[in-house]
Structure formats: C-alpha cells, structure tokens
Amino acid sequence: MQSEPTQPGLKPKSLGVSDIVFFVIAAAAPLGATLGAGPVVFAMGGTGAPGIYLIASLVLLLFAIGFAAMSRHVISAGGFAELVTHGLGRAAGNAAGGIALLAYIAMLTGIYGQFAAFGADLAMSIAGLQVDWRVVALLIIGLVGIFGYMDVKVSAKVLGVLMIFEILILLVFDVAVIAQTNAESFTWNGFMPSQIFTPGLGVALMFAFCCFVGFESTTIYGEEAKNPSRTVPLATYVAIAIIGIFYTLTTWCLGLAYANSDVQSVAGADMINFVFNANTQYVGPLSTEIMKILVVTSVFAVLLSFHNALSRYLFALARNHFVPRQLSRVHPKHASPHVASVVLSITTLVAVGLFMVTNADPIQHLYLWMVGLGTLAVLALQTLGAAAVVGFTLKTQKCSRWQGIIAPTLGGCGLATAVFLAVANFDELTGAKEGIATLLPWLVVIAALAGVINGLRAKEKFPVTPVVS
C-alpha cells in the first residue's frame, strides 16, 4: 500500500548538475583526503599509489554506470534504500536504510572530531588562542545546523566556493611539480602492475576507496534536481570523473616530487607533513600556510555536504514511516527538511558529546573510529546497490545488458572485495588494535537487522516509488 505525502515536498528543480557535483565533491574532500589518506596509500602501497587510486576510480566508475542508469527510473530522496527496494525487495531496502543511517551518522560524527582538532590547532597557530576542541565542536555543529535549516541553494553556493579554493591550491602544486620536473625524470612507474600489486595493496586500496565516500549521494538530491532523469546520472559521472582524475593526478605528482627518495619510507615517517613538505619545496611556504587554512574549510564543506544529504535521507525515510513521520515536514519558506535537520544536529551533538565526556581524543578516537565504521558501512551499501541494479534490470529490462548487468556486476565484485579488505584490516583503518573499537564492524550487521525489523514494525514498509519510464 502506498500513501500520499501530506506535507509539502522538497523544492523541485532547484539544483543543477553543478550544484549536485559541488555537494558530492565536497563530501569527498579533495584536499582533506589528499593530506589524510594520500600519505597512508603511499606508506602502504609505495610507488604504486597513483595506480591504486586509478583502480579505485575504475571500480567505482563501473558501479556508477549501473547506478546512473537505474537512477533515471527511480527518483527519490530515499537514495540507496529506495534503489535497493526496487532491485532486491523491501526487506533488502529496509536493511539498506539501516546501514545508510549508521554509515552517514558515523561519518558525520567522526568528521566533527576532525574539524574540532584542526580548528583548535588553527586558532593556536594563527591567533595564539588555546581553544578546547570541545568548544570548536559545539560551535561547528551549530553552524552546520543553521545551514542545513536553510534553502539548499545556500549550502550549494558555499560548497562551490570552498571546493574551488581547495582544488585550485592542489592544482597549483600539480602544475608546479610538472613544470619543475625534467623531461627525463618523468616516470610512469606508479601505474606499473609490478609496483601496484605489492603486499600493502589491500590496506592501500581500502584507504583509496575512503577518498571517494559521498559520491553515491547524487541520487538523494533527485527530487530537487532540474530534469532529474538527466541531472542525477550526469552529476554522478562528472563527480566520479573529477574525483578520480584529481586524486590520480595529484598522487602521481607527489610521486614525482619524491622521485629521488624512498617515497614509501618518507610517507610512513611523517604522514602529517608528507604533502606539506612537498608543497613547500615546489610552491613555497606561503602556499603551505594557505593550504593549512583550506584544510579546515575543506572539512567544513564535508560536514555541510553530509548533513544536507543525511537530512534528506531522514526526510525520505520518514515519509515511509521508517523513522518518525514528523521528520518529513518541510519548511514553508526554505523548502528544506528542517525538522530532520534539527533532529540530526541534536543526534550528532549527543554522539559527539559521549566522546567529550569520556575525554576521548578527537582524532585517535572520535575521528578514526567513526570514519572507519562509516567507510565500511558505505562500502557495504554500495555493494548492495550494485546488486540492486542487476536485480532491477532482470525484473524490468529498463537498462541495457552492459549498464544493468555487466558493469554493475564487475563494479560490485570490486566493492565486495573492498568490504572484505575493510573488515580484514579494520584495525589499520581505525588505528584500534584492541578493545571495543575492534567490534565496531558488527554494528553494520546490527544496523541491517535493525532496519529489517523496523521495516516489519512500521505501519508502511518502503512504498515503492513509481518507476519513471
């Protein structure tokens, strides 16, 4: 049985391809990911780091082919939960809904810790102010909540500006390295199989996949997109292409910058300054100082992107009674899911507060634990999504064999491998070798089961959105 929404919907035709791409690339945090995950990929994968990023890009592109094709026919802010429902049935859709909530809340919570640590450090280095990370966390949760409450176009404009700055500063580095490297010193070793398939490939590939988290949120903005059957697929392709090319190019340039050194050892010895040192050498110290500031704004962009995406996810789930119906209310002026946004702000405040009162470290505990858990959950969600595309194609014949079966099957196999690697190397992903943090992967299973049980309990279980022909 399908119910008609009694509340006004999200603002239709308010987002174009560029707006959605801004949200997605902001969630991927090009600068933050390059500074954070890039050195780890080099430390684990060595010279083959650029090739490892290329592999991750190709796997996700294969998945995106089917994901984009199916999103032309299923347009909903319900994201993966809606897609999986159409492809694999309501029980699987309910499981995907549970995993999605865990994934995005964990990611959002963890990144608040990262911002709080970076923000406190920036206040000290620039103004000499010693600010407790807890104060920074409270302030940023409030600021993100305000943006989430307002018209989505406001967030899109802010994200666009921040994204342009962080990409520009890394492109300046890339150009500087290429310009200052002699022709005979150019090397393509980073893409050679002998350099890629090394003992550290598993962990390195896992961290490379981490850098792409967030691209799947394109479908969440379908109800607000201009011509969604075209805008969402195109935004998906554009986002993955930009992110993949950007990471591969910048990682290759980092390899060139350290061509005369043992790049694996250098990265492992000083991961924090690995990129900063190369940038100082090739561009200059002023650029590095600017880069340190932009790291903070980059993380803010991630928070804003995830908050907006998750607010819409809660909004869509509320319409289907998966979460309390009140979360489906839309602001009369801003056309934003304002109730969902407020509830999300309170939820993240409580989650971050638990780490605050236990005197946890914002990076070692809050950030690494929660982002590690969120990454694993997102990879599991994407794997379900790949299977859903195949199921949808077999049932409806709406997608071609290449788009609906072959490409998502190949991409799904790659994603399933990434899930296995994430579970097997979870201690490396989170930095937790013992204790309760090692049990966090079980929360993905629990979230899936809770989603199924909640779907059975709900008055109406994920009504199927009409398929657009």
How far is it, in rounded angstroms, from Cα 188 to Cα 252?
Answer: 8
pLDDT band of 390, cuts 50, 70, 90: very high
* Mean pLDDT confidence for 265-280: 86
Predicted local distance difference test score (pLDDT) of residue 283: 94
3-state secondary structure of 459: coil
How far is it, in rounded angstroms, from Cα 152 to Cα 362?
Answer: 29
Summary mean pLDDT of the chain? 81
Whole-number Cα distances in Å, 6 to 14, 221, 235, 397, 402: 21, 20, 30, 33, 39
- C-alpha of 254 from chain center: 23
Predicted local distance difference test score (pLDDT) of residue 177: 93
pLDDT band of 153, cuts 50, 70, 90: low
pLDDT at 40 over 90: no
Task: Check if the beta carbon of residue 56 is closer than 8 Å to that of residue 209.
Answer: yes
Q: Per-residue pLDDT tens for 319-354?
A: 777 777 777 787 667 667 778 888 888 999 999 999
Residue 141: how many other CB atoms lie within 10 Å: 23
- C-alpha of 140 from chain center: 19
How far is it, in rounded angstroms, from Cα 327 to Cα 311?
Answer: 9
- Looking from the CA of 238 toward its CB, the CA atoms found within 13 Å total 17
Rounded to 5 degrees, φ, ψ at 225 are -85, 150
3-state secondary structure of 156: helix
pLDDT band of 39, cuts 50, 70, 90: confident
What is the radius of gyration, based on Cα positions, of the chain?
Answer: 21
- DSSP 8-state class, residue 225: B
How far is it, in rounded angstroms, from Cα 247 to Cα 245?
Answer: 6
Q: Which residue has tokens 């190949």?
A: 410
Task: Check if the beta carbon of residue 52 is closer than 8 Å to that of residue 252.
Answer: no
pLDDT band of 1, cuts 50, 70, 90: very low
Q: Of 289, 304, 430, whose CA–CA distance to 24 is shortest?
A: 304
Predicted local distance difference test score (pLDDT) of residue 443: 93
- Six-digit token pair at 6? 């009694």
Give the bridge partners for 225, in sequence order.
15
Predicted local distance difference test score (pLDDT) of residue 144: 87
Task: Check if the beta carbon of residue 80 is closer than 8 Å to that of residue 104.
Answer: no
Task: Check if the beta carbon of residue 180 is closer than 8 Å to that of residue 172.
Answer: no
- Six-digit token pair at 12? 């239709």
- Six-digit token pair at 199? 């003992």
Report the sign of the C-alpha dihedral through residues 94, 72, 314, 163, in that order.
Answer: positive
| Cα-Cα end-to-end distance for the chain | 21
pLDDT band of 68, cuts 50, 70, 90: confident
Residue 116: how many other CB atoms lie within 10 Å: 29
3-state secondary structure of 15: strand
Residue with the larger pLDDT of the pair 285 and 215: 285
- pTM here is 0.80
CB-based burial of residue 461 (10 Å sphere; 0-12 exposed, 13-18 middle, 19+ buried)?
buried
Task: Check if the beta carbon of residue 49 is closer than 8 Å to that of residue 198.
Answer: no
Task: Check if the beta carbon of residue 144 is closer than 8 Å to that of residue 307.
Answer: yes
Highest mean pLDDT of the ranges 307-311, 409-413, 425-429: 409-413
Q: Which residue has tokens 């598993």?
A: 202
Q: Per-residue pLDDT tens for 440-464?
A: 889 999 999 998 888 777 655 444 4
Rounded to 5 degrees, φ, ψ at 76 are -165, 150
- Six-digit token pair at 337? 């899911």
Q: Of 322, 413, 412, whose CA–CA distance to 100 is shortest?
A: 322
Highest mean pLDDT of the ranges 224-238, 306-320, 405-419: 405-419
Task: Check if the beta carbon of residue 343 is closer than 8 Å to that of residue 142.
Answer: no
pLDDT at 297 over 60: yes
Predicted local distance difference test score (pLDDT) of residue 134: 92
Rounded to 5 degrees, φ, ψ at 228 are -55, -35
CB-based burial of residue 184 (10 Å sphere; 0-12 exposed, 13-18 middle, 19+ buried)?
exposed
CB-based burial of residue 36 (10 Å sphere; 0-12 exposed, 13-18 middle, 19+ buried)?
buried
